[in-house]
Structures are given as C-alpha cells and as structure tokens.
Chain A
Amino acid sequence: MDLIGDLLVQGVQMLLVLALAPLLTGYVRKIKARLLRRRGPSIFQPYRDLARLLRKETVVASSGSWLFSVAPYLIFAATWVAAALVPTFARGLTFSWTADLIAIVALLGSARFFLALAGMDVGTSFGGIGSSREVMIAAMAEPAMLLIVFSLALVAGATQLSTVAAFMASPEVGLRVSLGIAMIALIMVAIAENARVPIDNPATHLELTMVHEAMVLEYSGRHLAMIEFAAALKLLLYMSLLGCLFAPWGLATSGAGPAIWALGIAAYLAKLALGGFLLALFETAMAKMRVFRVPNFLGAALMLALLATLLLFVSRSL
C-alpha cells in the first residue's frame, strides 16, 4: 500500500511538471508583455502552440540523418526525468534517490549534448553557430554550477536534493552570507542555461544573435513541439530548484496526506508565480549582451560560487 501511494505521488509530480511547464512560459511572456504595455497573448498560448505544432506536417532537411529525428524525443525524455527528480511540492519522493543534484545537472548535460549534435546534423552554418556558442556557454556554466553544489553540500552535508531541502527548511540553517552569494550565482547560471536575456533572447530570430534558436532552426512540426516543451520543462526545473533550495517553505513530505499535499502545491504555485514575475522584470530591465561578454558574466558566477565556498570555511572555523 505504501509503495502504491509513493508511486502515486511520484506520478503526480511527473504529470504536474508536464502540465505546468507551458503555463510558466506563457505566464512569463504575459508579464513581459504587460511590462512593455502590450496586452500580450493569453498565458495558455504555449499549449495552443504545442497543439498546433503537433498537428502540422514535419519538414526534415534532405541531408538530415536519423539522429535529427531521434534527438527531440531523447532531449524531451532526459529533461522530463530531470524535472521530475527535483522536489516541487513534496520532498522525499520514492525515486528521489535515483539521482542527486550533480546527476540532475549531468542529465541536462546529456540533453544539451544531443541538442548541439542535432544543430550540426543538417550541415548549415546556423546550426553550427548555435551549437558552437551553446557548448561555449555550457563550458563556463557547468563549473560554476558544480561549485554552487559544493557550497550547498558543505552547508547541508549532502548532495541529495531532498536532504538539502529538508535541511534548508530546518531552523538550524539560519541566515548565511555564503548562501546568499550561492543563490545569486545559481540565478546567473539558471539564466544562462535557459537561454534568457542577457545571455540569449528567447524571442529573437535575428540570426547573428541567436544561440538556442539557431540550433533548432531546422526543426518543425512535432519535433519542434518536443524541443519547445523540453525548453519549458527546463525553465520550470530551475525555478523549482531555486524554490526548493532557497524558499523551502510549504514543502510537504512524501507520506503527509492529501491535505498537506494540496497546501504544498499551492505554495509551489505561489513560488512559481513570484519567480516568473521576477524573471520577467529582470529580462525587461536588461539588454542582451554581446556573445563574448558572456564569459565575463559566467566567470562572475564562477567566482561568486567559489567565494561562497571559501566564506563557508571561514565562518565554520570561527
């Protein structure tokens, strides 16, 4: 009975992230439009986009290989699994021990590997330019992410997300400078990983400035739907990650029962709403930076993460 309940909660989480991901994207777009004094499309527009893409015919370039058609499903699957492993409304889910934070980041790395390969499969210069810049950004972002994980693990004594989240919710964590620095670094990494302003612009279609959009330029129809869905899931994943690490309030435990779960879901939705609003505000206030300024941005994230770790050592020894 226990196992069935656990599986049920895990299943709810998997479906929840799937259902919420397009909504979050639509919500961020709506807020951005309102901040620019536009009415903007409905927040349910991404669902309609996905449905429309699924109904459309798929065009595959004549030089494309099987990798081009298989990659969208693999990218979607890897991102979905990763998003389902981050605590959203409850922690301590049955399969949460399958992968710790490092493995979740690496799983997203697998998805990115296939995305970058897919960009190069057709053999155009746009795909290549996108892939080449994407791996450059990833090469900077991943060390920063690992150092963030390191500083978190140093505080909580674990890399298991459920354990870290439980520790963050406990009163012994207190207010720490290094956690604040780690949070800023994680936000910077999240912006880079999700191809948001100022690293990349999700709304642009100007060839020379594109990174993510350049890689997926050749995709259409159901393949494009999978990739867009994966991108939305990734945004949701990073929001959930920030939420469960730095705002762990209202996180239910696995066996708590439906009433607490409902509360957890409500808290989670509130966190997403706040995070999405802040993201839209930030994006509206910033200009996109040149590609070769990106290393400075991510270098700052790296240094902040290292600083967070070193500050912890100092504060521990005092």
Chain B
Amino acid sequence: MMGQSPLVWSLGCVAGLIAIAALAVALSRFRNATPVIYALCLIVSTLGLSSALAALLNPAPVAPTLVLPFGLPWLGANFRLDGLSAFFLAIIGLGGASASLYAIGYGRHEAAPSRVLPFFPAFLAGLNLVPLADDAFTFLIGWEFMSLTSWALVMVQHREAENRRAAYIYIVMASFGTLALLLAFGLLAGAGGDYGFDAIRAASRDGTVAMFVLVLVLLGAGSKAGLVPLHVWLPLAHPAAPSHVSALMSGVMTKVAVYGFVRVLFDLLGEPGWWASAIVLVIGGITAVFGILNALLERDLKRILAWSTIENVGVIFVGIGLALAFKANAMDRAAALALTAALLHAFNHSVFKGLLFFGAGAVLSATGTRDLEALGGLIHRQKITAVVFLVGCLAISALPPFNGFVSEWLLFQAVLQSPELPQWGLKIMVPAIGGLLALAAALAAACFVRVYGIAFLGRPRSPAAANAMEADRFSLAAMWLLAVLCLLAGILPGFLIDAMAPVAQSMVGARMPVQSDVPWLSIVPIAATQSSYNGLLLFLFITLSAGIATFVIHRFASHAVRRGPAWGCGFADPVATSQYSASSFAQPIRRVFATILRAREHVDMPAPGDLRAARFTYETHDLVWVTLYAPLVNTIRFGADRLNRLQFLTIRRYLSLVFLSLVTLLLVLAIWT
C-alpha cells in the first residue's frame, strides 16, 4: 500500500479541488469568499505538488495503479502515476499553488468573483486529472473538463464583444481538438476496442495506422498547445481570462497538451518511424519563429505573452521531435538528452510564463490597461514588480545565468548530436531547425527588450501609468517565489536533470549522465570534453567581476553625480509621446520580416504647399488566419447560406429529397459490396 500512497494523495487532491468548487458555489454571495477559496486551492495544490515530487524523487519499482468504479461499466476509471505523470503533476501543482497564492491578493480586483471562484478549482481539478488517467475514457473526460472550465474562465468578462469572440473561437477549436483525440484513441484501441492504456500499449499496429494516429494527435494535442496553424485561438483566449488564469492556461494547460502528445507518441504508439520526427520538427521550428515574430508586433501586453507561449511550445516540440528522431535510430543517450531538454523547457516555461503573467496582472490592475503604448516608467512606481518582471524577461529570453538558457542550451546540444543520424533528410534538416531555434531565441530577446523597455522604462505615456501603485503582498510573494525559482533552476540545473532521469528512462530507455557526480555542479550532456555549462560559477563570476568593478570605481573614481534633463540634441521635448513607442521599436523587424507578417506601410505625404498633416499607417495580419481560416470560414458561410434554402421547401420536395437520398444510399451499398 506504501507504493500507492502518492497516487491516492493526488486523486484526493482532485476530489478536494472539486469539493472546493462546490464550496465556492455555496459561498459565492459572501464578500470574503475570495481569499478563503484561493487559500484552500493553495493548500490543496501544495499537497498535490508534494505528492507528485514524492512520486518523482522516490519512484516506486512498479508504477502504482488504481481502478475506481466510475466511467464505462466494463472498464472503470483507471489511474496510474508513473514518472512522466508525476513530472507533469509537479508542474501543475507548482503552477496551481503560485496562481492561488497570487490570486489571494489579485482576486480582490475581480468585478464579478462568482464568475471565477467556482471554475478556478474545477479547472485545476481538470488539469490534475489528465496526467493521472490510465484509460482513454478518463483521459478524455479530464481533457474536456479542463477545456470547458477554462472556456468558462475566458468568458468571465463576457460583456466585451472581443472576449465573446475569443471564447467562441476557443470552444470551436477545443471541440475540434477533442474530436481528433477521440479518433486517435479509437485508432489506437483498434477493432478490439479496449481503451485501457495497458491494452493499447500491448497492441501492435502497422505504419499507416501509426501515421494517422500521429496526425490526429498533432491536431488534438497541438491545437491545445498552440502549434501553428492551430494556434489562432490562443492569443485571443489566454489574455481574455483573469491574469492568474491566463498564467495557468499559458504556463500549465499547454504543458498538459505536451503531456498528452508525449504520452501517446513515446508510450502508447510504440515505435513510429523517423518520418514522424521530421513532421514534428518542422512544425515545431515554424511555430517557434512564427509565434515570436507576431509577439514582436503586438501592442497588448498579455497578448504578447500569449504569442510568446506559442514560441515556447514550438521550442518544446522541436525537442520532442529530436527525441523521436534519435529514438527511431536507437541513439538512446541522445534521445534522453533531447527529451530531457524538452521537458526541462516545459518546466522552465511554466515558471517564467507564470511570473510574467502575474507581472502583467499587476500592471493591469495598477493602470487599468494592457496597451503598451499607454504604459511607461513603471520602474519608478512599481519597484518590486519591476525587479521580478525583469528576471522573468531575462529568463524567457534564454539569457544566462537564468533557467531559460539551460534548457535552450541542452536543446542546442541535442541538435549537435544530429550528424550521427543515418537519414540524409534529417541530417540536413536538423541544423536548419537549429538555426530557426537560434532565430527564435534572438527574436525573443528583442521582444522582451521591447516589452520591458516600453512598459517599465522611459517616461509614463498616460496619467494612469504615472500614478500606478505597487501590487499587494500576496501577488508580490507569488512573483518572488517564481523569480527565485528562475534563478535557482538556472544555476543549479543538475538537480532538476537528475530528478527527470526516471522519466527519460521510461520513455526512451536511457537517461542523461548523473549530474550530481560532476565536480563544481556543472552540467554535462554527453561528456565533459565535448561541452559543459556551469550556471553557478558563471553567476558567481559575474557577481564577483561586477563587485570588483564597483569597488574599484567607487574607491578611485569621481563620486560626483548630477541630475539633469535628458540630452535632446538641442531640442528638448517634454512630451512623453516623443519617446520611442512600441510600434516604432518593432519597425525594423517588421520591415525585415514583412512577407511573413503581412505587414504593409502606407505613407500619405501631402504635396508641397498642401497644409494637411502627413499620415503614416501600417497594418499587419496573421498570415495563417488570412490564408487558411478566413477562406475556410467564408466557405462554411457560403455553404450554410446555400443549405439554408432547404429550410423553405414544400412538402413535395422534402419527400422527393428523402426518396432520392434513400435510392442513392441503396445504390452505394449495392456497389460497395
């Protein structure tokens, strides 16, 4: 029974969260319900996190399973807690706990708490249920529960037309994704129709079925994760929810989608061929670059973060694609490296994306706007938020010594293993994908220089920004927690890599070298002579050199400081709009990547003597929406209009229609056999 206890604990947490949701419905009319409900969520999430960590750090020899008498009568509800589930439960637990802590303070700004409180714990319960499921039915129930509760949270501010549109597109895409997953599990279960995961694992299937399953899972999990071209809902829906929910949707829900993908591809499907990895790699690389390019053009702070989530999901999928390629060619150590890098990036992204969304929420509640062009100078008003947000920006830009760099570095090391691959297609493709990854990382740095520089630095661009107040204690505590984790995971990544060893072992049959034996706490992907990285020493060296420089300067150089107006080259302009704006900052990149971004600039220059003002406008479009979705929507509209005529036929025509279709079906049947 000892081995089962983490599983029982985790299931207990799911039950506890559902109970909290019920309690929230009952308490919704009380004004003080908000902190109570979030405090309860914090406690249960922390319990869930600790049981997941217990399962991850002390793995049972056989993964514990449990069958509960719900669900399909002949199947029951099967649950299992192996290394992969425990790892993702830890991400969910950490994300849930920090979001709950943040919301104890942030929830006070909510206009209609009764629209949030019941759905938040239910959403957490859905997130926790998916990794625990051990049969397709329970998995899909958890998945759908997660989708619907998050849809309700997107609809919290339903009076704004934009949010309603976002929620509508989200629910359509989510239903489509679940449908694809349903079909994928149907194909996996085969004609026997046994939906338990152990039966699916044991079954054998041929290449065509594997290809269809891959495509369907890419559609199903990929639409939830935000892979291009299924990403269109994500930048609309994630920002529409309250900020702590946005953090969960971006930081955690996309990871549950990654979990679904890894579970099917590495565990259930058996051995897909190397072509599977090629598809995943290309989609991942395109997603990474496309996501961050669009983030660079966006003006809405939370929408920028949502687009950058798409980029990071692309990065994670590149790692998964590499792991698939290495696994298909029995290069187990390289596969372990790639998978560990992908999963580490999933963890890191959940930490810094949570931090950044919390920061965006603090800015939003202090200024009432998410528009970058109305912000500025917040570093003077929100001193602590500015520090932690800066940590988040550095981490997400993959800069040492923070955690984002470690996972990207491991990923590059995995890319460098590709020359050993036997397939020429992969050999040539992987370096190009590596180039795309580097491009995405560099653009991410540009994107977050822009976000931080426009929102927090410079002079305030609106009275609201000039009078912003610092966030409350609970919000700050949650942000501090995640910022410290960003640094710790960046300078001591070896512990994380070692903790993920059982996951890699069970998914690809190998693990990365034991990192705790490496001297000085360096990390070594393959061998120390090839490559190594030591975030701790790098951090110490930078601190030391900066300390020496500061000491020497302050000992020997002049101390005189004078405050004066900024240098305006003879034209001192006190208006804040004369600063560089968010759109002007992005202009060079907008111009360089104009084709991909569908960016057009229009200059209206009056003729000499004409006294009207010159005008400059620019427009950009989501390439995928314009080329794929807009025609699709138009086709559906057109078809629906045509079909609409069927509503107004006479009884004679209806009868002849029925007769005709009967004859056609019979004919088809006759020819078929």
Known: A98-B534, A110-B399. A77 touches B580 (CB 8 A): no
Bound-state CA distance A160–B530 (Å) is 6
Known: A132-B585, A153-B416. A146 touches B580 (CB 8 A): no
Bound-state CA distance A16–B431 (Å) is 36
Bound-state CA distance A98–B578 (Å) is 44
Q: Across the interface, name the chain A residue whose C-beta is closest to B541.
A: A81
**B459→A123 contact, CB < 8 A:** yes
Q: How far is the CB of A293 from chain B (nearest CB, A)?
A: 11
B84 contacts partner chain A, Cβ-Cβ < 8 Å: no
One digit per residue, 1 when the CB lies within 8 angstroms of any chain B CB and 0 when it does not, for chain A 107-118 equals 101101100110
Bound-state CA distance A128–B394 (Å) is 19
Interface residues of B in 564-581 (CB under 8 A from A): 564-569, 576, 578-580
Q: Which of A33-41, A196-204, A215-223, A257-265 contacts B (4 or more CB under 8 A)?
A: A215-223
Q: How far is the CB of A35 from chain B (nearest CB, A)?
A: 31
Known: A65-B457, A126-B569. A133 touches B530 (CB 8 A): no
Chain A residues whose CB sits within 8 angstroms of the CB of B446 once the complex forms? 135-136, 138-139
**A60→B580 contact, CB < 8 A:** no
**B449→A131 contact, CB < 8 A:** yes
How many contacts between A and B, using CB within 8 angstroms? 262
Bound-state CA distance A124–B409 (Å) is 35
**A125→B419 contact, CB < 8 A:** no
**B377→A142 contact, CB < 8 A:** no
Q: Which of A50-58, A174-182, A239-247, A280-288 contacts B (4 or more CB under 8 A)?
A: A50-58
Interface residues of B in 381-401 (CB under 8 A from A): 390, 394, 397-400
Chain A residues whose CB sits within 8 angstroms of the CB of B569 once the complex forms? 126, 207
B441 contacts partner chain A, Cβ-Cβ < 8 Å: yes
Bound-state CA distance A209–B578 (Å) is 19
Chain B residues whose CB sits within 8 angstroms of the CB of A159 once the complex forms? 413, 416, 530-531
Q: Across the interface, name the chain B residue whose C-beta is closest to A63.
A: B459
Q: Which of B211-219, B247-255, B546-554 contacts A (4 or more CB under 8 A)?
A: B546-554
Known: A107-B538, A221-B558. A150 touches B529 (CB 8 A): no
Bound-state CA distance A100–B526 (Å) is 13
**B442→A81 contact, CB < 8 A:** no
Q: Which of B3-11, B336-344, B587-595 contacts A (4 or more CB under 8 A)?
A: B587-595
**A117→B442 contact, CB < 8 A:** no
**A62→B565 contact, CB < 8 A:** yes
**A76→B545 contact, CB < 8 A:** yes
The bracket for how many chain B residues form the interface is 35 or more
Chain A residues whose CB sits within 8 angstroms of the CB of B553 once the complex forms? 54, 73, 222, 225-226
**B546→A76 contact, CB < 8 A:** yes
Q: Across the interface, name the chain B residue whose C-beta is closest to A142.
A: B442
Chain A residues whose CB sits within 8 angstroms of the CB of B397 once the complex forms? 109, 113
B434 contacts partner chain A, Cβ-Cβ < 8 Å: yes
**B530→A163 contact, CB < 8 A:** yes
Bound-state CA distance A153–B531 (Å) is 10
Q: Across the interface, name the chain A residue whose C-beta is closest to B292.
A: A139
Chain A residues whose CB sits within 8 angstroms of the CB of B630 once the complex forms? none
**B566→A54 contact, CB < 8 A:** no
**B399→A121 contact, CB < 8 A:** no
Bound-state CA distance A127–B457 (Å) is 11
**B432→A306 contact, CB < 8 A:** yes
Q: How far is the CB of B367 from chain A (nearest CB, A)?
A: 17
Bound-state CA distance A146–B562 (Å) is 43
**B419→A313 contact, CB < 8 A:** yes
**B531→A132 contact, CB < 8 A:** no
**B580→A139 contact, CB < 8 A:** no
Chain A residues whose CB sits within 8 angstroms of the CB of B543 once the complex forms? 77
Known: A78-B542, A147-B435. A61 touches B565 (CB 8 A): yes
**Consensus secondary structure, chain B interface:** helix
Chain B residues whose CB sits within 8 angstroms of the CB of A56 once the complex forms? 558, 560
Return the contact of B457 from the options A62, A117, A125, A313 (Cβ within 8 A): A117
**A107→B431 contact, CB < 8 A:** no
**B452→A117 contact, CB < 8 A:** yes
**A63→B458 contact, CB < 8 A:** yes
Bound-state CA distance A182–B133 (Å) is 50
Most B CB contacts (10 A, CB to CB) among A95, A106, A291 go to: A106
A67 contacts partner chain B, Cβ-Cβ < 8 Å: yes
Bound-state CA distance A153–B434 (Å) is 13
Bound-state CA distance A45–B593 (Å) is 42
B64 contacts partner chain A, Cβ-Cβ < 8 Å: no
**B541→A132 contact, CB < 8 A:** no
Known: A58-B558, A221-B558. A142 touches B438 (CB 8 A): yes
Chain A residues whose CB sits within 8 angstroms of the CB of B585 once the complex forms? 128, 131-132
Bound-state CA distance A24–B558 (Å) is 26
Return the contact of A99 from the options B533, B588, B589, B592 (Cβ within 8 A): B533
Most B CB contacts (10 A, CB to CB) among A67, A76, A123 go to: A123
**A54→B419 contact, CB < 8 A:** no
A5 contacts partner chain B, Cβ-Cβ < 8 Å: no
Chain A residues whose CB sits within 8 angstroms of the CB of B592 once the complex forms? 136, 140, 292, 295
Chain B residues whose CB sits within 8 angstroms of the CB of A313 once the complex forms? 419, 427-428
B117 contacts partner chain A, Cβ-Cβ < 8 Å: no
One digit per residue, 1 when the CB lies within 8 angstroms of any chain A CB and 0 when it does not, for chain B 152-177 equals 00000000000000000000000000
* Residues of A participating in the B interface, judged by any CB pair closer than 8 Å: 54-67, 73-74, 76-78, 80-81, 95, 97-100, 102-103, 106-107, 109-110, 112-113, 116-117, 119-129, 131-133, 135-136, 138-143, 145-147, 150, 153-154, 157-160, 163, 207, 217-218, 221-222, 225-226, 291-292, 295, 302, 306, 309-310, 313, 316
With A100-B533, A221-B560 known, 15 other A-B pairs at CB within 8 A are: A61-B564, A73-B546, A77-B549, A98-B522, A100-B532, A110-B394, A113-B399, A120-B449, A123-B566, A128-B453, A154-B416, A158-B529, A159-B416, A160-B531, A292-B588
Closest 9 CB pairs of A and B: A128-B580, A123-B458, A120-B453, A57-B560, A135-B446, A77-B546, A146-B438, A142-B442, A77-B545
29 A-B pairs (CB sep. < 8 Å): A57-B562, A61-B564, A62-B563, A62-B564, A64-B566, A73-B550, A77-B542, A81-B542, A98-B532, A99-B533, A99-B538, A103-B405, A106-B398, A107-B400, A121-B457, A121-B458, A123-B377, A126-B569, A128-B579, A129-B580, A133-B588, A136-B446, A141-B442, A142-B438, A142-B442, A158-B529, A163-B529, A222-B553, A306-B432
* Residues of B participating in the A interface, judged by any CB pair closer than 8 Å: 376-377, 379-380, 390, 394, 397-400, 405, 409, 412-413, 415-416, 419, 427-428, 431-432, 434-439, 441-443, 445-446, 449-450, 452-454, 457-459, 522, 528-534, 537-538, 541-543, 545-546, 549-550, 553, 556-558, 560-569, 576, 578-580, 584-589, 591-592
